[in-house]
Amino acid sequence: MTDIRIAAKDDIECLMSIRLEMLKVVNNLPEDYEFSDEVINESRDYFLNGDHITVLARDDGRVIGCASMSFIRIMPTFYHPAGKRAHLMNVYTKPEYRRQGIAWKMVELLIEKTWEKGATEISLDATASGRPLYERMGFTDSTECMVLTKNDLNFSEHLANCPNKPKFE
User: For the chain, what are the domain ranges?
Assistant: 2-144
pLDDT in tens, the chain (169 residues): 789 999 999 999 999 999 999 999 989 999 999 999 999 999 999 999 999 999 999 999 899 999 999 999 999 988 888 889 999 999 999 999 999 999 999 999 999 999 999 998 899 988 888 899 999 999 888 777 666 666 656 666 766 676 766 676 6
Nearest to 89 by CA among 4, 23, 138, 30: 23
Nearest to 109 by CA among 2, 1, 5, 3: 5
Cα gap 156→151, rounded to integer Å: 12
CA distances 80 to 98, 120, 140, 155, Å, are 35, 6, 18, 30
Task: Give the homologous superfamily in CATH for domain 2-144.
Answer: Gcn5-related N-acetyltransferase (GNAT) (3.40.630.30)
